[in-house]
Amino acid sequence: MIVVLRPDATESDLEQVIEKIQELGLTPHVSRGVTRTIVGCIGDEDRLREVPMLSFPAVETILPVEKPYKLAAREFAAGDTVVKLREAAGGVGDGAIHVIAGPCSVESREMILDTAESVKQAGAVALRGGAFKPRTSPYSFRGLGPQALEYLAEARARTGLPVVTEVLDTRQVEVVAQTADVLQIGARNMQNFALLSEAGEAGKPVLLKRGLSATLEEFLLAAEYILSRGNRNVILCERGIRTFERALRFSLDIGAVPFLKKETHLPVVIDPSHAAGRRDLVIPIALAGVAAGADGLLVETHPDPDRARSDGDQSLTLGTFASLMEQVKQIAAALGRSLATAAA
Amino acid sequence: MIVVLRPDATESDLEQVIEKIQELGLTPHVSRGVTRTIVGCIGDEDRLREVPMLSFPAVETILPVEKPYKLAAREFAAGDTVVKLREAAGGVGDGAIHVIAGPCSVESREMILDTAESVKQAGAVALRGGAFKPRTSPYSFRGLGPQALEYLAEARARTGLPVVTEVLDTRQVEVVAQTADVLQIGARNMQNFALLSEAGEAGKPVLLKRGLSATLEEFLLAAEYILSRGNRNVILCERGIRTFERALRFSLDIGAVPFLKKETHLPVVIDPSHAAGRRDLVIPIALAGVAAGADGLLVETHPDPDRARSDGDQSLTLGTFASLMEQVKQIAAALGRSLATAAA
Amino acid sequence: MIVVLRPDATESDLEQVIEKIQELGLTPHVSRGVTRTIVGCIGDEDRLREVPMLSFPAVETILPVEKPYKLAAREFAAGDTVVKLREAAGGVGDGAIHVIAGPCSVESREMILDTAESVKQAGAVALRGGAFKPRTSPYSFRGLGPQALEYLAEARARTGLPVVTEVLDTRQVEVVAQTADVLQIGARNMQNFALLSEAGEAGKPVLLKRGLSATLEEFLLAAEYILSRGNRNVILCERGIRTFERALRFSLDIGAVPFLKKETHLPVVIDPSHAAGRRDLVIPIALAGVAAGADGLLVETHPDPDRARSDGDQSLTLGTFASLMEQVKQIAAALGRSLATAAA
Amino acid sequence: MIVVLRPDATESDLEQVIEKIQELGLTPHVSRGVTRTIVGCIGDEDRLREVPMLSFPAVETILPVEKPYKLAAREFAAGDTVVKLREAAGGVGDGAIHVIAGPCSVESREMILDTAESVKQAGAVALRGGAFKPRTSPYSFRGLGPQALEYLAEARARTGLPVVTEVLDTRQVEVVAQTADVLQIGARNMQNFALLSEAGEAGKPVLLKRGLSATLEEFLLAAEYILSRGNRNVILCERGIRTFERALRFSLDIGAVPFLKKETHLPVVIDPSHAAGRRDLVIPIALAGVAAGADGLLVETHPDPDRARSDGDQSLTLGTFASLMEQVKQIAAALGRSLATAAA
């Protein structure tokens, strides 16, 4: 942490700042510039992070030097974290492209069984499907709940595909974790800290979506909540941020993909469906994510999207999904990567 | 809902759209323009809200006409909703300016008792103070928890000030509601729909903060979650949105105040402290909020902000708070309004 | 400027950085922290500002300490800059609230003469009116051009009100400056650096609007362009920024007002009309600006806004404008300020 | 254009609206919904675009149906517009990937000649290089001006590469157009309408960069300014938008690429350098752009970026550029496309 003093700070102002820093058990290091004096604070920056240094009238600004996340930082781990999805050989982060597909919400037993078969056939390595749905309006369809979890379990039993499903409430974590192979935490809950902590203790990998206005630092701190509970299996998912542009539903932050790959050892996938908001833009965005270095995709697919109860506009048909997979395979090969394959 | 067809839509495309609308129990109303044909859908717009109309290749866009919130809409209520804070004569929304003040978090028994006395003396009508704190980093101070609730109850017993405190987790709602006079839902939980529903059933007024990237429509829909559970006592709080500008912590959306006052019958307060992020900008922003028509303020004050365990940089000293109150009184008078006074 | 090295930087990495800093004529000051080493650079920070320090693989980040603007910084001037509008006694920045009013564009001789009389009567100290209008679409009305300048001159001759009018193109500066008392530079031209430079040499005060996505630092640097040409008469105008919220046309950044008043000696006015985008929200936003400490207002008024050729939705009628002035007067008085009055 | 009336609008309110619409030469088409009445306006929507309909108190909102751009709309042209760069066989928009490369600014004769040779060898089809540079600070290096144009001409003479260079000021258009093969209009000038018009008449293709907070609609309207002057050779360039995220310099709006390809017949390229702001993120973003369907890239390259006078941090070395080209070639092939080759 560096404390920058105002140009008009006096020696006595400086002494007060130094005293405060020492009081916190840190060592001050003064550097006098031409117009401003700065004080570097040597020691554990965390001790200073919440100290209201701006309360000193002579302090102009504070510049943090250390990163606030530790376990999520790339330097923490020896290599890339690989998150296994069930008993498969590899896992997300192993270099291959992992595609997770399925409907926004599980609408019936038949539709989820059909979807599971189809996406498996097209090459998906996991099945997504919402049992509990977060909805902006209280009047919208909010999922079939526990019944949907049963259908998902049946789909897994038939296809072998591990199940990724969302958890919305701390009180649901236990029941969802009984069925799910991966707990999904949605964008709107990225800073639901109680839920993050609970998910960190549920013993299942977590797919964490970036909040729609979360900075990448906040995103990594949200992952840190889960990691700090002893759960090292976190998959980060970029799904579009909220910007001034409303032509598409969200603006997928493509630069976040290579940035995160440098900054953290955790695997990174993208969700092109929520960013696009409309079916015909999903494939180009998905391919862009792969080209940018993502470890996988989370894609909404539906056997009959025109009759979907939620997100129908942005869901791929099963046929279009198969075409996407073909293109992903080509792009992956061009990059010297491959498409992950489901466990036998 | 209006369905806009592409310029090249054929008669058969139009027929398909009409059929779909009729199938949903709505009446289509076709209007042929010079380049585009549009179809108005007469009936309950909610039936159409989640139908993936963009699935029809001939559909260019969908224009909603009705608002998705009902109970929060101004036309729903005969006049302004007045939210009583305990047994006081008036309430937030009655025309007077209600100021709620106190520390970011309750740090000790002594500090909350001192603060309560001081803010009461300066004219605050309620005491705020966090027992459970949402923190971006898992390594930050997260509040004293249940102990803090006891201290708040004691402060209320001494001063008569009703207590506003945050609830973070559905599992905490019951215990927090036993002490709190008003449940606060923070910005990061504005779309924690399980929490909204739970708070809607707790039998206490709710102070709902706007999410940092929530549109005003989403803000009103979050209120609708609470209202739809039978709780009509919702106070909306604008606390700054996230924009590209980082010179201040957040950008207080001042235009949201008069907009909400027109759009809804619910009372609107502002939180100048989180928007400013630094003490010396809190008062001008607070006064701006009052001038724009807010029903009240939620202000962070601390007996010794330089030693606060959270948000010290943006907390007013008790002396500065008294000065703010004096200025609010003047501005209120200039607008033909007055400062609310605490119940005797 | 502080150079932060990566945790794994070696001594040899550090030496290279030190060498580079010395090569630039600056003195390096090394501070070794627990995980990272930082190097403060003592001397003229400008020399380092454009040096690609991130090219050194061991450099993690660069933290600027000095501000990039000099002439615009508060410490540059002894007190507040007061920008005189013609021969009036006072000027914008002298503590009184200066209101500049008039139509979006000058639509006819009669309308501008009428407006000038009315706004003067209501207490405005200057007349605004566009002769050359920047329009998003090439098919929109773009102003009456030179003819409008003549009408504005006539309005000034009749009322004594100085004229504020926009200049869009470097080639127009000379002709507009012949008539205008104040040159306005619009939001979309805030980083039209050629225009800023030209306006800086035209010998007339400049009212500079903040770009719709300009940071406050960029805003002050745009002012610096004008100041650095020897023109010290710059009025800053906050007119709303572009955010994700589209319920209003723009989000007026109310916090920018007190921030700028601290950061610079230049006067600050707000334009509530463009932020609101609709008439019924203009007054609350205007009052908020005054309460936040603005030196004045720039308000769109029109004798018959329902027939205006541009911005009619957000223009006040002359009657409503008079009511706004009454309220501004009250708020100003509550703050111990007053409404500026036109030169006799 | 559809006029939506408030729920409480009376028959007489409706009549006034109808009268206004008829007065403008349009045909009103009334549709009575359950809570709101709407009026479709049949005829030329442009006539209504600037009419202040919100002035009618009974009008709640206005929904535009037609798009405000005509010449830029996909339906205007029979197929994709192909912009030829000099006498080459093909052009940008012909399906092949066109890469334009070169330094941020031309710093010396030698460096631009070297760069031109190298980028040509690596497969670039055009040379970029700034003679006149827009700079946020008045104290930054602003390019070598006319001298740089001469060097660029010499580089072209030697390599055959057409020259893309920026024009900042209407007064420079003529002189820049004498040398440049393509006029570049930068992001900060995207709504410098005088410059757009002038560039539209200069007889050279225009590479138009998206403003950093311009919506895609505004971007297409800026192109419309150029097109409406009779110049059909416009290349659109997405270069990153300004959002709340500051980890990277800008957020490249990857979804804009497929959106624009559907919405307009004009070719679309991306500039990964400005979005990334740092060298190590340029390649992944560039590849993402290609995968998303861009027609080309605009990339900053420099023979010695560590000593560049501007944008050194984000410039590729000539070696890294060659590696990028290799990867682009692979990705293009995976998509069934190819890399454009320079004219012999």
pLDDT for C130 beyond 80: yes
Buried b (16+ CB within 10 A) or exposed e, C265-282: bbbbbbbbbbbbbbbbbb
Facing residue for B212 by CB, picked from A55, A195, A213: A213
Q: Quote the pLDDT of residue B66.
A: 86
Cβ(A186)–Cβ(A209) below 8 Å: yes
Q: What average pLDDT is seen over chain A?
A: 93
Which chain A positions have a beta carbon within 8 Å of D248's beta carbon?
A: 255-256, 259
pLDDT for D108 beyond 70: yes
Cβ(A227)–Cβ(D261) below 8 Å: no
Nearest CA in chain D to B213: D244
Q: Quote the pLDDT of residue D226.
A: 97
D343 vs B109, residue with greater confidence: B109
The residue-averaged pLDDT of B95-102 equals 97
pLDDT for D25 beyond 70: yes
Q: Quote the pLDDT of residue C88.
A: 62
Q: Quote the pLDDT of residue C45.
A: 78
Q: Quote the pLDDT of residue D183.
A: 98
CB atoms within 10 A of CB C44: 16
Q: Quote the pLDDT of residue A88.
A: 62
| B190 in C contact zone (CB under 8 Å) | no
Q: Quote the pLDDT of residue A87.
A: 64
Contact B221 A188 (CB under 8 A): no
Q: Quote the pLDDT of residue C53.
A: 85
Q: Which amino acid is at A255?
A: G
Q: What average pLDDT is seen over chain D?
A: 93
Q: What average pLDDT is seen over chain B?
A: 93
The pTM (predicted TM-score) of the whole model is: 0.95
Distance CA C302, CA D52 (A): 12
Facing residue for C191 by CB, picked from D56, D134, D310: D134
Contact A335 D330 (CB under 8 A): yes
Residues 6+ apart with CB under 8 A from D209: D184, D185, D186, D187, D190, D237, D239, D271
Question: Has domain A2-64 been given CATH number 3.30.70.1140?
Answer: yes
The SS3 call for residue D191 is: coil
Residues 6+ apart with CB under 8 A from D19: none
The residue-averaged pLDDT of A136-149 equals 91
Cβ(D266)–Cβ(D235) below 8 Å: yes
Phi, psi (deg, nearest 5) at residue D168 = -110, -20
Within D268-317, where are the H helices?
272-276, 282-291
Distance CA D181, CA B165 (A): 65
Q: Quote the pLDDT of residue D51.
A: 83
- Reported as a pLDDT band with limits 50, 70 and 90, residue A162 is very high
Q: pLDDT tens, A205-228?
A: 999 999 999 999 999 999 999 999
Minimal Cα–Cα distance from C228 to chain A, Å?
20
Q: pLDDT tens, C21-33?
A: 998 888 998 988 8
pLDDT for D80 beyond 70: yes
Cβ(B163)–Cβ(B187) below 8 Å: no
- Among residues D253, D324, D332, D243, which one has the least CA distance to residue D283? D324
The residue-averaged pLDDT of D61-67 equals 87
The residue-averaged pLDDT of D113-122 equals 96
Region label for C336, one of left (φ > 0), alpha (ψ between -120 and 50) or beta (otherwise): left
Q: Quote the pLDDT of residue A343.
A: 63
Q: At B312, list the tokens.
A: 């010290």
A66 vs C169, residue with greater confidence: C169
Q: pLDDT tens, B221-263?
A: 999 999 999 999 999 999 999 999 999 999 999 999 999 999 9
The residue-averaged pLDDT of C98-111 equals 96
The SS3 call for residue D108 is: coil
- Reported as a pLDDT band with limits 50, 70 and 90, residue B344 is low
Domain ranges of chain A: 2-64, 98-334
Cβ(C226)–Cβ(C251) below 8 Å: no
The rounded Cα D239 to chain-centroid distance in angstroms is 8
Which chain A positions have a beta carbon within 8 Å of C63's beta carbon?
A: 2, 63, 65
Q: pLDDT tens, C45-54?
A: 777 777 888 8
Phi, psi (deg, nearest 5) at residue C273 = -70, -45
| A326 in D contact zone (CB under 8 Å) | no
Contact A224 B305 (CB under 8 A): no
Which residue in the block uniquely carries the two structure tokens 């600004």? A61
Minimal Cα–Cα distance from B82 to chain A, Å?
23
Q: Quote the pLDDT of residue B40.
A: 87
Which chain B positions have a beta carbon within 8 Å of D32's beta carbon?
A: 42
pLDDT for C141 beyond 90: no
Q: pLDDT tens, B327-341?
A: 999 999 999 999 998
Distance CA B268, CA B255 (A): 12
Which chain A positions have a beta carbon within 8 Å of C31's beta carbon?
A: 29, 31, 40, 42
- Among residues C286, B2, D245, B140, which one has the least CA distance to residue A213? D245
Secondary structure in 3-state letters for chain B: CEEEECCCCCHHHHHHHHHHHHHCCCEEEEEECCCCEEEEEECCCHHHHCCCHHHCCCEEEEECCCCCCCCCEHHHCCCCCCECCCCCCCCECCCCEEEEEECCECCCHHHHHHHHHHHHHHCCCEEECECCCCCCCCCCCCCCCHHHHHHHHHHHHHHCCCEEEECCCHHHHHHHHHHCCEEEECHHHCCCHHHHHHHHCCCCCEEEECCCCCCHHHHHHHHHHHHCCCCCCEEEEECCECCCCCCCCCECECCHHHHHHHHECCCEEECHHHHHCCHHHHHHHHHHHHHCCCCEEEEEECCCHHHCCCCHHHCECHHHHHHHHHHHHHHHHHCCCCECCCCC
pLDDT for C284 beyond 90: yes
Q: Which amino acid is at D307?
A: R
Q: pLDDT tens, A89-106?
A: 689 999 999 999 999 999
CATH number of D98-334: 3.20.20.70
Phi, psi (deg, nearest 5) at residue C20 = -60, -45
Q: Quote the pLDDT of residue A140.
A: 86
D318 class by beta-carbon count within 10 Å (0-12 exposed, 13-18 middle, 19+ buried)? buried
Minimal Cα–Cα distance from D147 to chain A, Å?
36
| B57 in D contact zone (CB under 8 Å) | no
| A85 in D contact zone (CB under 8 Å) | no
Using CA of residue D70, residue D72, residue D77, residue D83, what is the dihedral sign? positive
| A40 in C contact zone (CB under 8 Å) | yes
Q: Quote the pLDDT of residue D41.
A: 87
Q: Quote the pLDDT of residue A344.
A: 53
| C220 in B contact zone (CB under 8 Å) | no
- Among residues C63, B154, B174, which one has the least CA distance to residue A64? C63
Least confident of C89-98, C148-157, D180-189, D330-339: C89-98
Percent of chain C residues past pLDDT 90, beyond the cut: 75
Q: pLDDT tens, D83-106?
A: 998 766 689 999 999 999 999 999
Which chain D positions have a beta carbon within 8 Å of B7's beta carbon?
A: 75
pLDDT for D344 beyond 60: no
Which chain D positions have a beta carbon within 8 Å of C212's beta carbon?
A: 213
B87 class by beta-carbon count within 10 Å (0-12 exposed, 13-18 middle, 19+ buried)? exposed
As a whole number of Å, the end-to-end CA separation of chain B is: 52
Distance CA B278, CA A57 (A): 11
Q: Quote the pLDDT of residue A139.
A: 86
Which chain A positions have a beta carbon within 8 Å of C246's beta carbon?
A: 246
Percent of chain D residues past pLDDT 90, beyond the cut: 75
Facing residue for C290 by CB, picked from B215, B216, B291: B291
The residue-averaged pLDDT of C178-193 equals 97
Contact B288 C257 (CB under 8 A): yes
